[in-house]
Structure 1
Amino acid sequence: MADLLDVQHLTCGHGEAVVLQDVSFTIAEGRSLALLGRNGTGKTTLIDTLAGAARRHAGTITLAGQALHALPSHRRAAAGIGWVPQERNIFKSLTVHENLTAVMRPGPWSPERVYQLFPRLAERRQNLGTQLSGGEQQMLAFARALVLNPKLLLLDEPLEGLAPIIVEELLRAIRRVARDEGLPSIVVEQHPQMVLGVTDDAIVLDRGGIAFRATSEALLADPTPLDAWLGVGQH
């Protein structure tokens, strides 16, 4: 299976501060990746660097054969990066439907299709962003990334701080998009047991680099490495 994303010897951070050094990994077409690690290990920095929102000091980022590392963030979006940052970045003064139609690009994911994925958004399509709960805003941010019809989806802690019922809805959506439909995705999550069930592979960041990698299935079967690297029991 061909590699969609190829990251080689990436060193990145914020301003002059280096957070990650010499990080290399690939994601094949149709595969999804759980990005794990303790707080402060650089998970968001890595996602932000892929999206063009953090500083690359060295290394290369290639998506579907196109070099992205020198491009500004809007060019990376045009090249196929769909990014859902922690801040969500929805247009709060627009309705749900306007949020979607303002950014959509041709492809399999249309506003009507994301309404099927997120019935709550369908019910609130005429509501302003300011009228949505935090969970609904997260669904809208996810939906906005999908209607871009990206080649690669980046989800930065999409479940953080949400009610359990919303977490379940989002996990079902991630599973459908990433696993069932094969949209290559990187999902950052603090709680491995949640995200390993909806991804194919996993990387653990620690001390400025990749400390461990395995299939998600292997880590679900034997979470001992997670106990070691994350310092939390996953049984």
Structure 2
Amino acid sequence: MSELLRIENLSAGYGEAVVLHDVAFTLGEGQTLALLGRNGTGKTTLINTLAGATRQHGGTISLGGQALHKLAPHQRAAAGIGWVPQERNIFKSLTVHENLTAVERPGKWNPQRVYEMFPRLAERKTNLGTQLSGGEQQMLAVGRALVLNPKLLLLDEPLEGLAPIIVEELLRAIRRITQDEGLAAIIVEQHPQAILAISDHAVVLDHGTIVHADSAAALRSQPQVLERLLGVAR
């Protein structure tokens, strides 16, 4: 399997504050990485750094052999980064369909495929972003990242604050996107068992450094390790 993402000696943060320290790992094409850790350990900062939304103090990031760390956020999107931040950042004054067509790039993912993935959005394609529930906004945020036709999808706590039925719907969609469609992804989540079940690899951060890296299956089968690293076994 070809290497897609390579991060070496990455240090980054906000202004002069350094949050990440010498982070390094690789991810192959079509693989999914569960990015885990307690609150405040640097998970969101790492996702934001890949998207270009922090200040990088050192190290390199390459995607498909292209140096990402030298690019502005919009250039990283063009290079193949699809980012779904915690805040979702949909265009709330636009309709669902306008949100998708405003950022659409050529490729296999288009608004129609997003509607097939999320029938709720098809039913609400003329609704404004402000008229959507939290779960529908999250589906739209994922769909908007998909129509960029990225090489790597970044999902920052996609299940946070959602009703159980919506969580199950989103998990099915993420599984299809990654396992069936073969899109590489990095997923930050506070529900480790749910994400480990659909991931290939796992990395655990603590105080901005990697303290554990293993296959997702191996970490999922070791509740005592999850308890020690995350304070939660299930």
Bin the TM-score by the shorter chain.
over 0.9
Paired position in structure 2 for 1:15: 15
Instruction: Give the Cα separation in 2 of the matches to 1:225 and 1:176.
Output: 28
- Kept in 2, the 8 Å contact 1:11–1:22? The answer is yes
1:216 shift after superposition: 1.0
Instruction: Give the Cα separation in 1 of the matches to 2:114 and 2:103.
Output: 13
Instruction: Give the Cα separation in 2 of the matches to 1:226 and 1:168.
Output: 22
Residue by residue over 1:57-99, the C-alpha shift from the partner in whole angstroms, topping out at 9 and shown as x without a partner, is 0000000010010211000001000000011110111110010
Q: Secondary structure at the residue paired with 1:116?
A: helix
1:48-59 maps to which residues of 2 (within 5 A)? Answer: 48-59=48-59
Residue by residue over 1:146-167, the C-alpha shift from the partner in whole angstroms, topping out at 9 and shown as x without a partner, is 0000000000000000111111
Instruction: Give the Cα separation in 1 of the matches to 2:102 and 2:157.
Output: 24
Instruction: Give the Cα separation in 1 of the matches to 2:233 and 2:23.
Output: 26
1:207 shift after superposition: 2.3
Q: Is 1:34 aligned to residue 34 of structure 2?
A: yes
Unpaired segments of 5 or more residues in structure 1? none
Instruction: Give the Cα separation in 1 of the matches to 2:135 and 2:53.
Output: 24
Paired position in structure 1 for 2:224: 224
1:177 shift after superposition: 0.5
Amino acid at match of 2:41: T
Instruction: Give the Cα separation in 1 of the matches to 2:23 and 2:78.
Output: 24
Amino acid at match of 2:131: Q
1:223 shift after superposition: 2.4
- Kept in 2, the 8 Å contact 1:196–1:220? The answer is yes
1:29 shift after superposition: 0.6
Amino acid at match of 1:116: E
1:208 shift after superposition: 2.1
Paired position in structure 2 for 1:152: 152
1:220 shift after superposition: 2.0
Q: Secondary structure at the residue paired with 2:113?
A: helix
- Kept in 2, the 8 Å contact 1:179–1:200? The answer is no
Paired position in structure 2 for 1:118: 118
Q: Secondary structure at the residue paired with 1:9?
A: strand
Q: Is 1:66 aligned to residue 66 of structure 2?
A: yes
Q: Secondary structure at the residue paired with 1:69?
A: helix
Residue by residue over 1:174-194, the C-alpha shift from the partner in whole angstroms, topping out at 9 and shown as x without a partner, is 100012221000000011011
1:35 shift after superposition: 0.3
Paired position in structure 2 for 1:79: 79
TM-score (norm 2): 0.98
1:48-197 maps to which residues of 2 (within 5 A)? Answer: 48-197=48-197
Instruction: Give the Cα separation in 2 of the matches to 1:225 and 1:214.
Output: 11
Q: Which runs of 4+ in 1 moved over 3 A?
A: none
- Kept in 2, the 8 Å contact 1:82–1:154? The answer is yes
1:222 shift after superposition: 2.1
Paired position in structure 2 for 1:45: 45
Amino acid at match of 1:109: W
Instruction: Give the Cα separation in 2 of the matches to 1:97 and 1:198.
Output: 29
Q: Number of aligned pairs?
A: 234
Instruction: Give the Cα separation in 1 of the matches to 2:220 and 2:24.
Output: 24
Instruction: Give the Cα separation in 1 of the matches to 2:128 and 2:232.
Output: 40
Q: Secondary structure at the residue paired with 1:198?
A: coil
- Kept in 2, the 8 Å contact 1:81–1:151? The answer is yes
Instruction: Give the Cα separation in 2 of the matches to 1:221 and 1:35.
Output: 17
Q: Secondary structure at the residue paired with 1:210?
A: strand
Unpaired segments of 5 or more residues in structure 2? none
